[in-house]
Copies of this chain bind each other. A is one copy, B any other.
């Protein structure tokens, strides 16, 4: 049996493009006893994947040139030589990093697969109940430590993580202010997700003043997904004893030189600020706790969710690139 794979063709400098990816056709071997053939149903594409395209040591190894790209995914069983799995079962990979190769079909030993619960839409396992939801949960609660009445500012607020952070902030009684690009996203935040205010960074020449206007009592927590000049504007408005969970720096990921900006240390001293970088793997031992809370809030209607869906296996590279153009609202999902 043949399968198409999208492989990592060359390490990009700056923004990835069509030369970064290449589609190849491979022959799959015969299915053996205990093995399962799966076909992808949904893929997640995420900003952190840009980091894996560089050949640098990080918390997750770089992509290997010539090997398939991999990302979060939900698959369906197509053929099974294991009694625990039947054709049509929805599955994910079991691992602390359950990443599915970009391939129209692949073979796994059944021990590496787990069935998922059908009671919520399967794509939720890639978003609000998956890595983005858990990232929001632990970053905000463990580092941000929100208290009722405090002001929480979120950059990349209309992204997969940001919309969950804002809603958990509201659950904890915070005034929540989101920063996003474009009037449509800003409207989404205040009208659909009940943010108290939202700031459009596009064409904004003075983020510092915009944040000050939206946060009359200053900023107690800054959940940062973006970095760069947006963060410079927020930092100037931090209150004493403020907390800054660092989740992502999408504004900097495609930099070809070391990004330079105002040094943060002086204001961090005078205002006694805490800044902490994290990756979701740090909290692997507590995923159960986070998943339980997120499911509960979804069922109670306290957590709403949105995703942007693109269709077609061959759209995967385009979907990934769309992240850096800020084209998504909420989680960006590719339906195969």
The chain A residues found within 8 Å of chain B, CB to CB, are: 51, 58-59, 224, 227-228, 231, 240, 246-249, 252, 258-279, 282
Contacts and interface: CB of A to CB of B under 8 A. Distances in A.
Given A59-B240, A274-B276, A263 B252 contact: yes
B276 A275 contact: yes
Contact of A59 (B231, B246, B272): B272
Contact of A259 (B259, B262, B268, B277): B262
A263 B275 CA distance: 13
Given A51-B270, A259-B263, A272-B282, 17 more contacts: A224-B265, A231-B265, A246-B268, A247-B269, A249-B263, A249-B269, A252-B266, A259-B262, A260-B260, A260-B261, A261-B261, A261-B263, A264-B264, A265-B275, A269-B279, A270-B277, A274-B274
B59 A270 contact: yes
Copies in the complex: 2
10 contacts: A227-B265, A228-B263, A247-B269, A249-B265, A252-B265, A261-B263, A264-B264, A269-B277, A272-B279, A274-B274
A262 B270 CA distance: 20
Contacts of A260: 260-263
A128 to B, nearest CB: 22
B282 A277 contact: no
A266 B227 contact: yes
Contacts of A246: 265, 268-269
Contact of A248 (B263, B269, B277): B269
Contacts of A264: 264
Given A262-B258, A275-B275, A58 B252 contact: no
Nearest to A241: B282
A267 B278 CA distance: 10
Most buried by B among A266, A267, A273, A278: A266
A121 B75 CA distance: 74
A273 B276 contact: yes
A89 B115 CA distance: 80
Contacts of A227: 263, 265-266
9 A-B pairs with the lowest CB-CB distances in the bound complex, closest first: A268-B277, A269-B277, A274-B276, A259-B263, A58-B270, A275-B275, A261-B263, A258-B262, A246-B269
A252 B279 CA distance: 31
Contacts of A265: 224, 227, 231, 246, 249, 252, 275, 277
Nearest to A57: B270
Nearest to A262: B258
Contacts of A266: 227, 249, 252, 259
